[in-house]
Amino acid sequence: MDQYIIHGGTTLRGEVEISGAKNAAVAIIPAALLVKGVCRIENIPQISDTDTLLTILVELGARVSYINKNTIEIDCSNARCQDAPFELMRKIRASYYLIGSMLGRFGSAKTTMPGGCNFGVRPIDQHIKGMRALGADVNVEGGFVYADALDGRLHGSRIYLDKVSVGATMNIMIAAVLAEGRTVIENAAREPHIVDLANFLNSMGADVRGAGTDSIRINGVDELHGGSYSIIPDQIEAGTYMVAAAATGGEVLITNIIPKHLEGISAKLRETGTFIEEYEEAILVRGAEKLRRINLKTMPYPGFPTDMQPQFGVLLCQANGTSVITEGIYDNRFKYVNELRKMGAEIQVDGRVCVIDGGRRLSGAPVHACDLRAGAAMVIAGMIADGTTVIDDVHYIERGYERFVEKLNALGADITVRYDDDDPERIGLYSVS
């Protein structure tokens, strides 16, 4: 399998440009299925999750062409309602957006239950509740989701989410855009990628209002037209480089970002003593001489993001004193702790709480990337450790970070990639170099 070999003890310095937001792109690509016309999408991150979704769209009859490595045109005018490639759907979480987009476009959808990183149970009951409220008959059988609009088209409705869910909010938005009448989503998630999806849909002729608040209103329209849209920068990719700079005691200017989206991350880094300076579209991070211990709890946006929790777990191994992390979103997002222990970290986990006894040097070891963000965290751990760290299962990391190794090495890291050409997890049909 593919591996990263990291020689530790490096300090990151220089400038890094952030790519388009993964969790916006993985909703916008399936949403393009609603559009009869050409969607030109800029700032698409070149990562395996977007490749997988584009491959699925092509199988459904879309025409996808790359204008350059981060700009694509998707034309779903001739897309057909048919079975999508289920083995690809099972690989990723975001395939759940095809329930909304196929229902909206064709009035019918058959998808697999979604895959994605394993943080314990990740139900999609709120997605299903939303589709049912819009008038779809939805059944889950044998690992598949079958959904049919009862009279061929969805109908607007008022939906209160029992749990603040990014995926359910975006999926219902996608489904409701072409529904007849008005939909209101209450207790909606407020992440920047929700606003980005709304802006994408509106630029193609939809009428979505209130995205970014907990009440989103969608007035259904009869059809969407083609257009051009640029995806926002990835706040988690930016946050990962911020932590990497802080953990290695370096100084990195992170460009092409929206500082407002990084407020939770910046605030917690400042508490550790890390120096942060914000500019209009960039942020400078300079590592502290001595990192201070902190406590943090992950929450829905604008709270501290769960997708930054493992990276902070590594950082806090370097801080003097005891830090406590409480995971407020998932049941089981501390699997990376076992890998960190192999490197000498002293961490106790009890359910959703993890207690880090910081200030110990880490030493290189063979470790796994348990999932996407855990993998990124292990890369940071490898860079601060003494000696060599070998990380396997790095296909997880490549699902979400564009040119991660190339960008880190340009900042002074010492990472080599050992590719196994037979690694079945790697796909890249539509990538261009």
Name the residue nearer to ligand EPU (CB basis): 307 or 339: 307
Query: Per rule CB under 6 A, is residue 23 in the interface with ligand EPU?
Result: yes
Instruction: Indicate if the alpha-carbon torsion angle 20, 74, 182, 127 is positive or negative.
Output: negative
Confirm or reject binding of residue 26 to ligand EPU (CB under 6 A). Answer: yes
Report the residue from 13, 271, 330, 388 that binds ligand EPU according to the rule CB under 6 A: 330
Which residues in the 348-377 window bind ligand EPU by CB under 6 A?
A: 372-373
CB 8 within 8 A of CB 33: no
Residue count, binding to ligand EPU (CB under 6 A): 24
Interhelix angle 97-106/125-133, rounded to 10 degrees, is 20
- Report, in Å, the least distance between residue 131 CB and ligand EPU: 11
Residues 6+ apart with CB under 8 A from 272: 246, 288, 291, 292, 293, 294, 315, 316, 319
What whole-number distance in Å separates Cα of residue 337 and Cα of residue 24?
28
Phi, psi of 351 (to 5 degrees): 65, -115
Q: Which residue is nearest to ligand EPU (CB)?
A: 167
**Whether 55 contacts 31, CB under 8 Å:** no
Q: Which is nearer to ligand EPU, 50 or 323 (CB)?
A: 50
Q: Which residue, 240 or 266, has its beta carbon nearer to ligand EPU?
A: 240
Q: Closest separation between CB of residue 344 and ligand EPU, Å?
A: 26
DSSP-derived letter for residue 130 is: H
Alpha helices by DSSP H, listed for 82-165, are: 86-89, 97-106, 125-133
**Contact call for residue 235 and ligand EPU (CB under 6 A):** no
In contact, 215 and 243? CB cutoff 8 Å: no
Closest of 271, 213, 267 to residue 239, by C-alpha: 267
**Taking the complex as a whole, how short is the minimal distance between the CB of residue 150 and ligand EPU, in angstroms?**
21
CA distance 33 to 39: 10
End-to-end CA separation in angstroms for the chain: 22
117 is catalytic: yes
Tell me how far, at minimum, the Cβ of 233 lies from ligand EPU, in Å.
Answer: 14
User: CA 298, CA 173: separation in Å to the nearest integer?
Assistant: 25
400 contributes a contact to ligand EPU by CB under 6 A: yes
Supply the minimum distance, in Å, between the C-beta of residue 226 and ligand EPU: 25
Judged by beta carbon, residue 274 or residue 306, the one nearer ligand EPU is 306
95, 171, 400, 426 from 87: Cα distances, Å: 11, 21, 19, 13
In the bound complex, what is the minimum distance in angstroms from residue 139's beta carbon to ligand EPU? 16
* 34 beta partners: none
Does residue 307 belong to the site contacting ligand EPU (CB under 6 A)? Answer: yes
Binding mask 60-99 for ligand EPU (x = CB under 6 A): ---------------------------------xx-----
> Could you tell me if 60 and 82 are in contact, meaning their C-beta atoms sit under 8 angstroms apart?
yes
| Residue 329 within binding range of ligand EPU, rule CB under 6 A | yes
Residue closer to ligand EPU, measured from CB, 119 or 229:
119
Q: Which is nearer to ligand EPU, 194 or 291 (CB)?
A: 194
Q: How far is the CB of 169 from ligand EPU (least distance, A)?
A: 8
243 near ligand EPU, judged by CB under 6 A? no
For residue 93, the tally of other CB atoms under 10 A from its CB is 18
Q: Specify whether the CB–CB gap between 305 and 236 falls below 8 A.
A: yes
Q: Which of 13, 18, 20, 12 is nearest to 255 (CA)?
A: 18
Write down the catalytic residue from 39, 76, 117, 354. Answer: 117
- In the region spanning residues 277 to 306, those forming contacts with ligand EPU, defined by CB under 6 A, are 306
- Residues 116-175 within binding reach of ligand EPU (CB under 6 A): 117, 122-127, 163, 165-168
Which lies closer to ligand EPU via its Cβ, residue 23 or residue 70?
23
Instruction: Report the interface residues with ligand EPU, using CB under 6 A.
Output: 23, 26, 93-94, 117, 122-127, 163, 165-168, 189, 306-307, 329-330, 372-373, 400
Catalytically annotated residues: 117
